[in-house]
Structure 1
């Protein structure tokens, strides 16, 4: 009888708060019981997760500054067509790096904009804007575009590519295969630094330049060119440029180090071209000249099979003023041996500035001579 009275009176005592302690339902127990019941009944419950990592934060920081670039060219399908038609000849990516005076500036690759009649930039939100080419440089494969800055909301921050380490995580952001995959993100690591890739600029089978690039295994596909290679802090440390596309090769993507790109970007934005030192010579590598002509025409000593042979000297140029002539063979600059034309260009562009003096050793008629010239600012 006593137990019956306790059971009947207990709920009333709880409602009147007459007990010396509080009784609260255990919601966790109820949730566990519900989950167990759902699992028993075969019911799947959706769980929402807010995943935040260093990678997602880096992507969020820079993704809005990565844009698409469309190369629009004129085409005519029929010879009697009155007016040429315009169509997109190629697409690539770009990075908004500056917003100033109502304008925004985009860095991309030269090969993305080459041959364009018109250029169009697609912002991350899909807005399309006409773009003006401020300048392009075939040697570095960089170009700078100008767009209206009103709708630009995000600007990328440049990092320091000199501080990169092999194995460091990086993220590639761009538009592989065009607008369908715009803003694609791939992750990888720094596979190598200071890689040197031979480049044939005029497709004549002769190497014109050695591009120094960052190697990464982050997937870089057609359309990624000009996009951002980003560190874990969301800073741009490279401009994606190319990949090695061979059947036996996988995961070798290449990017231009941002520290090498920054002075070129500045020149393209300000002057429309890169201000490089100028000698005023037309050159050919000695190793590309048959041995017979090395001896008969250049009159080089038999143990000298390297250097850059002068084919022509521009009148009143620094080379002409320094006394250099046709058939002279440059073998040394400022004490550094010059093996070929690529070696000469690399030393000149990477180590000298307009107005600098340059000491040259060269062979003329089999005799080693020396001269000094003062570099000016025309194009080599």
Structure 2
């Protein structure tokens, strides 16, 4: 091949390569343009949605159902504010209403004021209260539109069931405060000191929950997620090493007590007519000081017998040690009171006493009084 032919051949190859590269470049550019057009079309059709949900739960519905039925309680002594608590509207008849709260909330009050959820207030009168059940019933008249709470069944509460405590912790300024927790049990026994002498003298059956219950919540509502009243918040363990142990009075027992107070102004308690001491609480020095001479190591020492009382009529004497009450073993004064208050005024019971080392069985017909015996 001559130099001239070689030159022509190379020139032809260069032309072919340029044509091929132009075709590839055109195809690539066209593809990019098509992709861009497709993307623009897709972007034009894409809609960004901002979704905002107003979430409602059973707890929200429950609070809405009871919020106007839970009230604040302010108690006055000598015209001075002495304390506060919470209450629940139990029954409404026109412009009259009955309010449930705790006995310890209104104890010693000379004046009681009920503050409604809308901030308005009305003076209430005490229908009656009971220290042992820690329940009080108030009555008031008001032009405020009042709503009675729906009462549930505390016996249906299950361990782990969610409950809400509604009340006014730390004062009326925090009225309507809601805390949530679960039920541990609907029948916990808690020992309490009612007379402030440092000795536990009564045992209460309560609902245990970890819903936060603080000072001022007392007398408020414990409700289930159906918005039903299942308990009256009453107390908590205040030990610094303990958290989440609050207690409420089961509504089934509360209603029984409230209906009795509503009808008679009191809860009729049986009375034996003695003053007594737990033998097991006394030291050897105290036994000598009180001149207690007994072979019993447990039971209730009868320090005195009231004239004309059921004990006196039944033959119980000063110095006796009560060891059994109607078939129930008596080891402490607390166990004696629990056995006594399980009876009704007028019941006849068998009482066994240790008298000078000998066991004596007596038949006693119980009397009646509304306060502690």
Q: TM-score range by the shorter chain?
A: 0.7 to 0.9
> Would the aligned equivalents of 2:186 and 2:250 in 1 still touch at CA under 8 Å?
no
RMSD of Structure 2 on Structure 1 (CA) = 2.4
> Would the aligned equivalents of 1:333 and 1:359 in 2 still touch at CA under 8 Å?
yes
* Equivalent position of 1:315 in the other structure: 307
Q: 1:362 to 1:30 in 2, by over 3 A?
A: farther
Gaps of at least 5 residues in structure 2 are 1-41
Deviation at 1:297, TM superposition (A): 4.6
TM-score by length of 1: 0.81
> Would the aligned equivalents of 1:298 and 1:329 in 2 still touch at CA under 8 Å?
no
Q: 1:46 to 1:128 in 2, by over 3 A?
A: farther
* 331, 344, 347: which one aligns with 1:356: 347
Deviation at 1:264, TM superposition (A): 1.9
Could you tell me how far apart the structure 2 residues matched to 1:221 and 1:157 are?
A: 24
3-state SS of paired residue (2:367): coil
Is 2:58 aligned against 1:54? yes
* Equivalent position of 1:70 in the other structure: 74
Is 2:357 aligned against 1:344? no
* Equivalent position of 2:32 in the other structure: none
3-state SS of paired residue (2:80): strand
Could you tell me how far apart the structure 2 residues matched to 1:30 and 1:68 are?
A: 59
- Superimposed CA distance per residue, residues 268-303 of structure 1 (whole angstroms, 9 cap, x where no aligned partner): 2232222111111111111123347769954433xx
Could you tell me how far apart the structure 1 residues matched to 2:362 and 2:248 are?
A: 38
Deviation at 1:266, TM superposition (A): 2.0
> Would the aligned equivalents of 2:92 and 2:146 in 1 still touch at CA under 8 Å?
no
Could you tell me how far apart the structure 1 residues matched to 2:244 and 2:134 are?
A: 21
Deviation at 1:212, TM superposition (A): 2.0
Could you tell me how far apart the structure 2 residues matched to 1:358 and 1:152 are?
A: 50
> Would the aligned equivalents of 1:298 and 1:364 in 2 still touch at CA under 8 Å?
no
Counterpart mapping for 1:164-175 below 5 A: 164-175=157-168
Deviation at 1:330, TM superposition (A): 0.7
* Equivalent position of 1:283 in the other structure: 276
Count of residues in Structure 1 that have an aligned counterpart in Structure 2: 329
Is 2:110 aligned against 1:97? no
* 107, 112, 125: which one aligns with 1:114: 107
* Equivalent position of 1:163 in the other structure: 156
TM-score by length of 2: 0.82
3-state SS of paired residue (2:276): strand
Is 2:343 aligned against 1:330? no
3-state SS of paired residue (1:105): strand
- Superimposed CA distance per residue, residues 310-351 of structure 1 (whole angstroms, 9 cap, x where no aligned partner): 1111111111111111111110112110111110111111x2
Deviation at 1:356, TM superposition (A): 1.2
3-state SS of paired residue (1:106): strand
3-state SS of paired residue (1:35): coil
Is 2:211 aligned against 1:215? no
Structure possessing the higher radius of gyration over alpha carbons: 2
Q: 1:186 to 1:364 in 2, by over 3 A?
A: same
> Would the aligned equivalents of 1:331 and 1:338 in 2 still touch at CA under 8 Å?
yes
Could you tell me how far apart the structure 1 residues matched to 2:128 and 2:297 are?
A: 38
Deviation at 1:184, TM superposition (A): 1.2
Gaps of at least 5 residues in structure 1 are 1-28, 37-44, 75-85
Could you tell me how far apart the structure 2 residues matched to 1:370 and 1:294 are?
A: 24
Counterpart mapping for 1:28-43 below 5 A: 33=46, 35=48
Deviation at 1:35, TM superposition (A): 3.3
> Would the aligned equivalents of 1:196 and 1:213 in 2 still touch at CA under 8 Å?
yes
3-state SS of paired residue (2:227): coil
- Superimposed CA distance per residue, residues 209-261 of structure 1 (whole angstroms, 9 cap, x where no aligned partner): 12222111111111111000111221111110111122222111111111222
* Equivalent position of 1:133 in the other structure: 126
> Would the aligned equivalents of 2:352 and 2:362 in 1 still touch at CA under 8 Å?
yes
Could you tell me how far apart the structure 1 residues matched to 2:351 and 2:359 are?
A: 10
Deviation at 1:34, TM superposition (A): 5.6
